[in-house]
Amino acid sequence: MERLLFFARRCGKAVLVILFVIAINFALIRAAPGDPATILAGESGAVDAGFVERVRKDYGLDRPLPVQLFTYMKQLLSFDLGNSYRENRPVKEIILEKLPATLLLTLSAFVFSIAVGVGLGIAAARRAGSALDALITAGSLVFFAMPLFWFGLLAIVLFSVKLGWLPPYGMSTVGADLEGWRAWLDTARHLLMPAATLGLFYVAVYTRVTRAAAMEVMDQDFVKTAHAKGVPESRIWRRHILRNAILPVITFVSLQAGHILGGSVLVETVFAWPGIGRLAFDALFQRDYNLLLAVFFVSSVMVVVFNLVADLLYSLADPRIELQK
């Protein structure tokens, strides 16, 4: 029962965030120089007077401000994201088409970085002060300092151009009509570099955070108690240190969710990966602000959902949260 209440509260907070995002969108459109209608119509749409007028009517731009805000909120909450002039179809359709590619990329990068990052962080903490620790720490600092897009470009030069091992662009080989597992393999080959590029940066981040969290827990009294009980090292790490260190890591990871989506914009651009990040880049290029705002909105919703899941995980992991309310 208490857990349901807790979950309900978190959902309430999530809705608040989404409303706030809508408000930001609204404010940005209004704050920009120029006529909001032309901004929403996008560069190509602004040329067509008829389209601009339709936009003005759809968004109620001639009504008073509070009404506009209300209309806008209603629209976004029902996922009515407007129309694209360029492609002559609803933005929602365009985004839904490209979303799976981004999900594939970010989720694989995420899983990879968590698995490797947490593992390395623990390994470094276990042998703190040793050569391995220094190596892992230095390595993570190095990867943390590399601009994602630069690293991606260098990877393309090395692995695609010089060595010819991996395809440089896109999600599938153009022209080849593949079926079944061959298609999967082709996708996987295309996925490898972009996912690794995105993932390696976050491996560095999670390594640092996990190491710091583990080292803090290692110093605590209850670890000493476990030693005094005669518990073997491996079990101490599993049931005492890891179980407690994972909590701040979960918190941190959920805060980083928005970052990975930002990173996917860069990676998708460099590798021409057909996801919503690439879509955002194109929208920037074409001055299609409506599309850009829509991508921002959808990304925010995804992050909020992800945070809800992370919060739930956290409350499962930490008994103090639910039971202390």
Partner 1 sequence: MSPLLHIEGLSVALPEGSERPFAVHDVSLQVLPGQTVCVVGESGSGKSVMANAVMRLLPRNVLRVAAGRITLQGQDLLSLDAASMRTLRGARMAMIFQEPMTALNPVMTVGDQIDEVLLVHGRTDGAARTRRVIELMAEMNLPEPETLRHRYPFQLSGGQRQRILIAMAMALEPQLLIADEPTTALDVTTQAQILALIQRLQRRHGLGVLFITHDFGVVADIADQVVVMQQGRVVESAGAAQVLGRPSHAYTRRLIDAVPRLRAAQAQEQAPAATAPLLEISRVSKSYRARGTGLFGARGRTLALDDVSLCIGQGETVGLIGESGSGKTTLGHCVMRLLDIDSGSLRFNGQSVEGLRGRALAALRPQIQMIFQDPFASLNPRHRVRRIITENVILGGVSPAEAQRRMEQVLALVGIDPAAVERYPHEFSGGQRQRIGIARALVMQPRLIVADEAVSALDVSVQQQVLALLRDVRARLGLSMLFITHDLRVASQICDRIAVMHKGRIVETGTVEAVARAPKHPYTRSLFDAMPGLAWERRAQAQAAEPLRA
Partner 2 sequence: MKNDRMLLRFLRQPAGLAGSLMLGVILAVAFGAGWLYPGDPWAMVADPNLPPLSPGHPFGTDMLGRDVAAGVAHGARVSLLIGLIATAIAVLVGTVLGAVSGYYGGMVDDLVMRFTEIFQTIPGFLLSLLMVAIFGPSLYSIVFAIGVISWPSVARLVRAEFLSMRTRDFVKAAVLGGQSDARILFCQILPNTLSPIVVAASLMMATAILLESAISFLGLGDRSMISWGFMIGAGRTTLLQSWWLSALPGAAIFVTVLGLNFMGDALNQTLSPRRRPVGGHA
Smaller CB distance to partner 1: residue 176 or 228?
Answer: 228
Is the distance from CB of 74 to CB of 161 less than 8 angstroms?
no
For residue 216, give both structure tokens.
């803090």
Shortest spacing between CB 157 and partner 1, in angstroms: 44
Q: Does 284 bind partner 2 (CB under 8 A)?
A: yes
* Gap between the Cα atoms of 242 and 214, Å rounded: 7
Binding mask 5-24 for partner 1 (x = CB under 8 A): ----x--xx-----------
User: Residues 306-325: x/- map of binding to partner 2 (CB under 8 A)?
Assistant: -x------------------
Q: For partner 2, which is the closer residue by CB, 51 or 237? A: 237
Of 30, 57, 243, 259, which one interacts with partner 1 (CB under 8 A)? 243
**How many C-beta neighbours within 10 Å does residue 207 have?**
28
Check binding of 31 to partner 2 (CB under 8 A): yes
Note whether 166 binds partner 2 by CB under 8 A.
Answer: no
Neighbours of 26 (CB within 10 A): 19
240 binds, among partner 2, partner 1, none (CB under 5 to 8 A by kind): partner 1
Count of beta carbons in the 10 Å neighbourhood of residue 263: 22
* Closest-CA residue to 259 (of 205, 192, 210, 196): 205
Q: Closest CB to partner 2 among 179 and 219?
A: 219
Question: Which residues, 6 or more positions from 323, have their beta carbon under 8 angstroms from its beta carbon?
Answer: 2
Q: Any contact of residue 83 with partner 2 (CB under 8 A)? A: no
Distance CA 84, CA 12 (A): 32
Residue with smaller CB distance to partner 2, 184 or 285: 285
Nearer to partner 2, 182 or 243 (CB): 243
Tell me which of partner 1, partner 2, none is bound by residue 131, counting a contact when its beta carbon lies within the kind-specific cut-off of 5 to 8 angstroms: none
Positions in the binding site for partner 1 (CB under 8 A): 9, 12-13, 129, 220-222, 224-232, 235, 239-240, 243-244, 247, 317-320, 323-325
Which positions lie near partner 2, rule CB under 8 A? Answer: 13, 16-17, 20-21, 24, 28-29, 31-33, 39, 127-129, 133, 141-142, 144-151, 153-154, 156-157, 161, 215, 218-219, 224, 227, 233, 255, 257-259, 261-263, 265-266, 269-270, 280-281, 284-285, 287, 289, 292-293, 295-296, 299-300, 303-304, 307
